[in-house]
Amino acid sequence: MIAHLTGKIGLIESDRCVVDVAGVGYLVLASTRTLAALPSGGMATVLTEMQVREDAITLFGFADSAEREWFRLLTTVQGVGARVALNILSALSPRELVSAIQAGDRAALTRAAGVGAKLAVRLLTELRERAGGMPLGSGFSPVIAAPRAGVEADALSALANLGYRRAEARPVVTRVVERLGPDAAASTVIREALRELAPAS
């Protein structure tokens, strides 16, 4: 079972992308929301769900755990395959799904490709009791960026040695590198990151 992939985002198409992990390109099907969050040509971590069939092994990708949980739930409903589930997640965020199901909003569900009136009613009926316990997500959180090789990784390591938690330092370092550019010296990135981290320390 492949739970996530961390690598360079290559080709991005309307319903799929390629994640290059150590020279191996994994084809990942995803919602338009996840694909829009991916940094084309950049590094990212994509959560995955693997589907194994006799004739194929397919990977589905998600930008956050809420979307993956909803994918798993949607595919338990009769008539909702993986592709239709991705269409639903492209049309509605997890938060919007909860609202639509709790309100009995059939029209909202039929906005998704492949969801007709009958399937919308089935979704409302089967998921009404379970929707309230599903994760809403925080709007739609971006794909978790993986540290860039070289400067960013060196800066993170140095900050960790200084006592900063990686979870705390990573977004700051990423922001600094984006501001200064990938050619910035590690010492400069560390100095700028320390300035941002200092007030909160």
Q: Cα(first)–Cα(last) distance of the chain, in Å? A: 39
Q: Are 6 and 43 in contact (CB under 8 A)?
A: yes
**Token output for 95:** 């938060």
Residue-wise pLDDT for 133-160, tens only, equals: 887 765 444 454 444 557 777 888 888 8
For CATH 1.10.150.20, list the domain ranges present in the chain: 65-131
CATH topology of domain 151-200: Helicase, Ruva Protein; domain 3 (1.10.8)
Instruction: Calculate mean pLDDT across residues 171-191.
Output: 81
- Give CATH 1.10.8 domain extents, the chain: 151-200
For 39, 119, 168, the CA distances from 146, given in Å and listed in that order, are 11, 39, 14
Amino acid at 115: V
Q: Which residues on neighbouring strands pair with residue 6, listed in sequence order?
A: 45
Q: How many residues does the chain have?
A: 201
- For the structural domain made of 4-62, what CATH number should be given? 2.40.50.140
Average of per-residue pLDDT across 171-175: 82
Please give the CATH number for the structural domain made up of 65-131.
1.10.150.20
**Which residue, 18, 4, 32, is CA-closest to 88?**
32
Each residue's pLDDT tens digit, 21-42: 989 999 999 999 899 888 888 8
Q: Enumerate the CATH 2.40.50.140 domain ranges in the chain, comma separated.
A: 4-62
Q: Which pLDDT tens digit goes with each residue over 47-81?
A: 999 998 888 899 999 988 889 999 999 999 999 99
Give the C-alpha separation, 194 to 184, whole Å.
15
Residue 139 burial (C-beta neighbours within 10 Å; 0-12, 13-18, 19+): exposed
- Its pTM surpasses 0.75: no
**Higher pLDDT, residue 172 or 47:** 47
Question: What is d(CA 120, CA 109) in angstroms, rounded to the nearest whole number?
Answer: 6
Phi, psi for residue 87 in degrees, rounded to 5 = -65, -40
Cα(29)–Cα(61) distance, integer angstroms: 6
